[in-house]
Amino acid sequence: MINYKKAGVDIDKSNRFVKNIVRMVASTKRSEVLGGIGGFSALMKIPKKYRNPILISSTDGVGTKLMVAELLKKHDTVGIDLVAMCVNDIIVTGAEPIFFLDYLATGRLNNKKAVDIVKGIVKGCKVAGCALIGGETAEMPGMYKDETYDLAGFCVGVVEKDRIIDGHSVNIGDRIIGIQSSGVHSNGFSLVRKVFKKSELKGKLGKLLLKPTFIYVKSILKLLERINVKSIAHITGGGFYDNIPRVLPLKTAALIYKKSWPVPEIFKMIRNKAGISDKEMYRTFNMGIGMVVIVSKKDVEKTHEIINRHNLKSWAIGEIVKGSREIIM
């Protein structure tokens, strides 16, 4: 007799997986969370400290970095990447991430692998200060091959309406501060896998590429308490050329001084291996700068001081000039 399990979906295994992660998930709980894991939906109050709260949302995935994780059989850091890609998008508006949900889809659920993935998500949520309040695990044989999996995340943050950062106050002469990345983060891996053979990715290079994406939430929130930050850009897919213009007002441009910060060795390896042009590199990768903030010239030193207190390096990498919402390098 045929049944759901014989069709490839083991509900009992999924239920065991949920039981295995309940305690981990609970460790991310904030005081505003109502109820626990296991319901049809999750509930959360907006923190009381906000007078005129605006909700900000973001969704993202980890991309083909997951294929490198699969190659190395290391799955306990990609969850950090998942959280980072969402909360880093939210923080650019000045919003505090308050809750996160995840979606794990696979051909066949491997309980140990799935628990490792959630460990990373939990760690990322703790670093970001947001609660993991729910998620979905989908076992879809035929859609995904064997234990191959994909991840997606969804995050909601909150910001005071009059504190939203949208770049409208950026002026000619303002300075562009770049904050270091941890490496490739979670973008450009399709090109990375085109450049390097599988055998090359299985060693030290693969481990270097799996370094999790930095989460900038706490450092940026602290910066916002002390500095009039005019604009923020997450250097993610599209690199410098596609991300910085998104947060510039009309009739301005970002003049970037490429030699003003040290480009990590991993990017030099990628460029030299395949002879990729400079423009293509700066449009695909973060090149060592994971987040950009724009401040007045008088606030530059204070900005460096606050960022450095969070064990992150920062550099003055450019300035705002006249232009048409473009990058000049």
DSSP output for 191-244 = HHHHHS-HHHHTSHHHHHHTPPPP--HHHHHHHHHHS---EEEE--TTHHHHHG
For residue 138, the surrounding DSSP H or E stretch is: strand 131-139
Mean pLDDT of the chain: 95
Structural tokens at position 208? 């270097």
Residue 94: give the domain boundaries: 11-163
Query: In this structure, are 96 and 216 located in the same domain?
Result: no
pLDDT at 65 over 80: yes
DSSP string of 153-184, one letter each residue:
EEEEEEEEGGG---STT--TT-EEEEEE-SSS
User: What's the average model confidence in pLDDT over 15-44?
Assistant: 86
Is residue 295, in this structure, part of any structural domain at all?
yes
- The CATH number linked to 39 is 3.30.1330.10
Query: Is residue 6 predicted with pLDDT exceeding 80?
Result: no
CATH of the domain at 232: 3.90.650.10
Indicate whether 149 and 187 sit together in one domain: no
Q: Is residue 152 part of a domain?
A: yes
Same structural domain, 152 and 186: no
Instruction: Kindly state the average pLDDT of the residues 146-156.
Output: 97
User: 78-101: per-residue pLDDT in tens?
Assistant: 999 999 999 999 999 999 999 999
| Structure confidence at residue 10 (pLDDT) | 84
Whether residue 30 lies inside any domain: the answer is: yes
In this structure, the answer to whether residues 70 and 149 fall within a common structural domain is yes
Model confidence at 269, in pLDDT bands (50, 70, 90)?
very high
Return the axis-axis angle of helices 111-128 and 11-26, rounded to nearest 10°. Answer: 30
Beta-carbon contacts of 25 under 8 Å, excluding residues fewer than 6 positions away, are: 37, 118, 122, 132
Domain closes at, from 163, 188, 222: 163
Of 247, 241, 248, the C-alpha closest to 329 is 241
Boundary of a domain, candidates 130, 163, 196: 163
